[in-house]
């Protein structure tokens, strides 16, 4: 009996193990098949698909990832590895039977769409329009010499998903997929793209500068997003601001009639004292970061031909990332590119030229001439003389790398006007006079350094005429300074330290001494100091100067401290009050007031005692 039970148990256990193994295999095969990576047969089938609406393949539309997520732990490791990236692909609404694919007429694109739920497309005609638009965009890029976006898909086509993006207030998004390295493009990645399913929501039709038709929104989105896909194919480690600047410039190149791209320029011209490569943050349209910078590409294209933009991406394709998964800064790439043949100029010269163009205009493209936002001065003077003691705003400015500022002088009955500028080596200046709508550049006075005399300033019409001073930092170094006056006053300026630019933020490194003292960059006390640096010190010129000086001096000190335990302890003790003050400024203020009150009380008491003794 015992033997029987033992055998029964063994048999049951073996059956269970075998069954589970078998089931696992079936499940694996099922998911591999559904995601089109199962067998060579499936692959051959996909490649042989006709270039037409493929309603016969409903199950191959958008894969059911919910099921995959649910059953993930039941899959074998090799299957998980194969299917991991599928989890990142979008899921359309509806069931498998409502999801379809359409292959574009050129065969380059596979469009995923659904006829049910929130993502439902308005009609098959619209999906065909989307397919034709993407083909049109791809052909335009081919004719301009661009290398089309690589793909790792089984069918060899580029995949586009039509989804309802209006609730998320998105036109489209492009996501990297996997490495697609090839000769000359070692850091290329494939990608996939999502766009709105119809562009009929008012956030698109009534967007600033509108109204826009759904087709117009589709056109600029296809041009913009597919160029991001191309950018992944050049180098995954592209600088985001330049990617946006290039994609937005392409909107203008391919569908200039839509003109939505002009709306982004105002953000930049209202914030000209921010760097050209200002990070694309939470208010990119407000600051003009990335998107608004497209107009600089337009300027480069006008100066050197449209090929200059593609050449910059060609150059980027050959570069390795700086390490530790960081992106490649585009400013040095542009600097190197423009200084060499056939351009033989410099980014500084082109940037200065661009900042002049902001005022003088004279864009080649007539639409630009009418729609590029007007210059915005950072200061306007009506009372003279202008100098550092009497004028507001103070006639002095510290500029980060590749940034600029305009100052306006309203005509007044003071005869001639002479503007004297003192500046550090990275600053270039220009003065313009506008009389009855005609702009002329004023040359510097002979033998007098940077001073400009506007003869007959007092006779200009205050209602229509003006004089402007342009100050541009034409280098990649922060903290270049310019100071000016109209009474000949000269304010000394100091050359900025040579600390390297990090793209305009603290973020990553720094706090060397605190890190050495506390032993870890991630120590909470070090974080307190980093936050203080990023949110307080780096927001003003004196603070930035202090940080630059600190970065110059502190590394060897920190290195010494890190090697001596007693010193680390001592530095921690010294930093404690500082950290307390940074962390609890109100408490510190309160304590100081109490201490001051106590001292005052004590002084008064001692004085009273002394007085009573005197009596």
What is the per-residue binding string for another protein in 242-271, x denoting contact by CB under 8 A? -xx--x----------------x-------
Does an H or E element contain 580, and which? helix 565-583
Listed ranges 30-38, 52-60, 220-228, 466-474: which one lies at the site for another protein (CB under 8 A): 220-228
Query: Can residue 9 be called a binding residue for another protein (CB under 8 A)?
Result: no
Structure tokens at 428: 């270039």
299-358 residues near another protein, rule: CB under 8 A: 321, 324-325
* Interface pattern 177-206 for another protein (x via CB under 8 A): x-x-------x-x-------------x---
CB 581, min distance to another protein, A: 12
- List, in order, residues 6 or more apart from 328 with CB less than 8 Å away: 235, 237, 238, 239, 316, 319, 321, 322
Fill in the per-residue mask, 501 to 520: x = in contact with another protein (CB under 8 A), - = not in contact.
Answer: ------xx--------xxxx
Residue among 222 and 405 whose Cβ is closer to another protein: 222
Rounded CA gap, 316 and 335, in Å? 12
Should residue 80 be labelled a site residue for another protein when binding is judged by CB under 8 A? yes
Specify whether the CB–CB gap between 260 and 209 falls below 8 A: yes
Binding residue count for another protein, defined by CB under 8 A: 65
Q: Does 117 bind another protein (CB under 8 A)?
A: no
Are 31 and 71 a contacting pair, CB within 8 Å?
Answer: yes
User: 196 is written with which tokens?
Assistant: 């709105």
**Alpha helices by DSSP H, 447-564:** 512-518, 524-535, 541-562
Beta bridge partners of 182: 185
Q: Is 297 in the site for another protein (CB under 8 A)?
A: no
CA distance 133 to 230: 16
Pairing of strands 189-196, 396-399: unpaired
User: Does 91 participate in binding another protein (rule CB under 8 A)?
Assistant: no
| Cβ neighbour number for residue 383 with a 10 Å cutoff | 11
Q: Which of 141, 146, 185, 232 binds another protein (CB under 8 A)?
A: 232
Q: Is 441 in the site for another protein (CB under 8 A)?
A: no
Q: How far apart are CA 413 and CA 439, in angstroms?
A: 21
Q: Which is nearer to another protein, 431 or 575 (CB)?
A: 575
126 to 165: interface string for another protein, x by CB under 8 A: ----------------------------------------
* Residue (164 or 225) nearer to another protein, CB: 225
Verify cis geometry, omega within 30 degrees of 0, for the bond prior to 174: no
Contacts to another protein from residues 446-485, by CB under 8 A: none
Per CB under 8 A, 572 contacts another protein: yes
What single string gives the DSSP state of each residue in 396-440?
A: EEEE-SSEEEEEEE---SSSSEEEEEEE-TTEEEEEEEEETTEEE
In what helix (H) or strand (E) does residue 53 lie, and over which residues does it extend? none
**Rounded-to-integer distance, Cα 332 and Cα 242, Å:** 12
Q: Of residues 524-563, which lie at the interface with another protein (CB under 8 A)?
A: 524-525, 527-528
In the complex, least distance from residue 502 CB atom to another protein, rounded to whole angstroms? 13
Residues that bind another protein (CB under 8 A): 69, 72, 80-81, 84-85, 87-88, 169-177, 179, 187, 189, 203, 207, 221, 224-225, 228, 232, 236-237, 240, 243-244, 247, 264, 280-285, 290-291, 321, 324-325, 507-508, 517-520, 522-525, 527-528, 569, 572-573, 575-577, 579-580
């Amino acid at each position: 009996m015992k033997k029987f039970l033992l055998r029964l148990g063994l048999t049951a256990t073996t059956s269970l193990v075998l069954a589970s193994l078998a089931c696992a295999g079936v499940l694996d095969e099922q998911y591999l098949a559904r995601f089109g990576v199962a067998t060579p047969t499936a692959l051959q089938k996909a490649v042989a698909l006709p270039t037409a609406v493929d309603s016969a393949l409903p199950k191959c539309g958008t894969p059911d990832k919910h099921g995959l997520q649910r059953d993930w732990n039941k899959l074998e490791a090799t299957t998980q590895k194969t299917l991991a990236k599928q989890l990142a692909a979008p899921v359309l609404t509806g069931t498998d039977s409502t999801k379809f694919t359409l292959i574009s007429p050129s065969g380059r694109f596979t469009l995923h769409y659904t006829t049910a739920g929130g993502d439902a497309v308005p009609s098959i005609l619209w999906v065909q329009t989307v397919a034709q638009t993407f083909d049109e965009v791809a052909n335009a890029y081919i004719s301009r010499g661009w290398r089309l976006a690589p793909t790792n898909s089984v069918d060899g086509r580029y995949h586009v998903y039509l989804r309802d993006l209006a609730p998320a207030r998105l036109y489209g998004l492009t996501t990297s997929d996997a490495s697609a390295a090839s000769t000359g493009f070692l850091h290329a990645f494939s990608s996939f793209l999502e766009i709105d399913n119809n562009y009929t929501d008012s956030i698109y039709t009534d967007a600033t500068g509108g109204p826009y038709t759904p087709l117009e929104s589709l056109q600029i989105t296809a041009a913009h997003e597919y160029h991001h896909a191309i950018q992944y194919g050049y180098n995954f480690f592209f600088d985001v601001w330049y990617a946006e600047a290039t994609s937005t410039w392409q909107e203008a190149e391919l569908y200039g009639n839509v003109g939505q791209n002009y709306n982004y320029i105002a953000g930049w011209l209202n914030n000209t004292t921010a760097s050209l490569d200002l990070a694309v943050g939470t208010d990119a349209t407000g600051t003009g970061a990335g998107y608004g910078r497209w107009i600089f590409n337009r300027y480069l294209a006008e100066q050197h031909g449209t090929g200059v933009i593609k050449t910059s991406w060609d150059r980027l394709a050959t570069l390795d990332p700086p390490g530790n998964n960081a992106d490649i800064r585009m400013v040095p790439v542009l600097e190197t590119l423009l200084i060499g043949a056939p351009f033989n100029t410099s980014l500084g010269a082109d940037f200065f030229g661009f900042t002049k163009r902001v005022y003088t205009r004279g864009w080649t493209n007539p639409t630009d001439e009418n729609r590029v936002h007007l210059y915005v001065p950072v200061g306007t003077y009506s009372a003279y003389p202008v100098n550092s003691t009497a004028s507001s705003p103070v006639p002095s400015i510290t500029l980060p790398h590749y940034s600029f500022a305009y100052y306006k002088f309203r005509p007044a009955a003071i005869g001639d006007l002479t503007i004297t500028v003192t500046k550090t080596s990275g600053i270039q200046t220009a003065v313009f006079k506008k009389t009855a709508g005609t702009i002329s550049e004023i040359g510097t006075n002979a033998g007098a350094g940077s001073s400009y005399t506007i003869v007959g300033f007092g006779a200009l019409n205050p209602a229509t005429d003006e004089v402007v001073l342009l100050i541009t930092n034409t280098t990649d170094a922060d903290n270049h300074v310019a100071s000016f006056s109209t009474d000949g006053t000269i304010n000394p300026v100091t050359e900025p330290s040579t600390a390297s630019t990090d793209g305009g933020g603290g973020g990553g490194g720094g706090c060397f001494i605190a890190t050495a003292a506390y032993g870890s960059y991630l120590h909470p006390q070090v974080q307190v100091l980093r936050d203080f640096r990023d949110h307080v010190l780096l927001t003003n010129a004196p603070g930035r100067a202090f940080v630059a000086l600190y970065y110059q001096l502190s590394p060897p000190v920190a290195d010494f401290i890190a090697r001596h335990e007693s010193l680390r302890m001592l530095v921690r003790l010294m930093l404690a009050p500082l950290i307390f003050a940074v962390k609890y400024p109100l408490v510190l203020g309160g304590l100081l007031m109490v201490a001051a009150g106590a001292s005052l009380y004590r002084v008064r008491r001692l004085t009273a005692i002394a007085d009573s003794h005197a009596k």
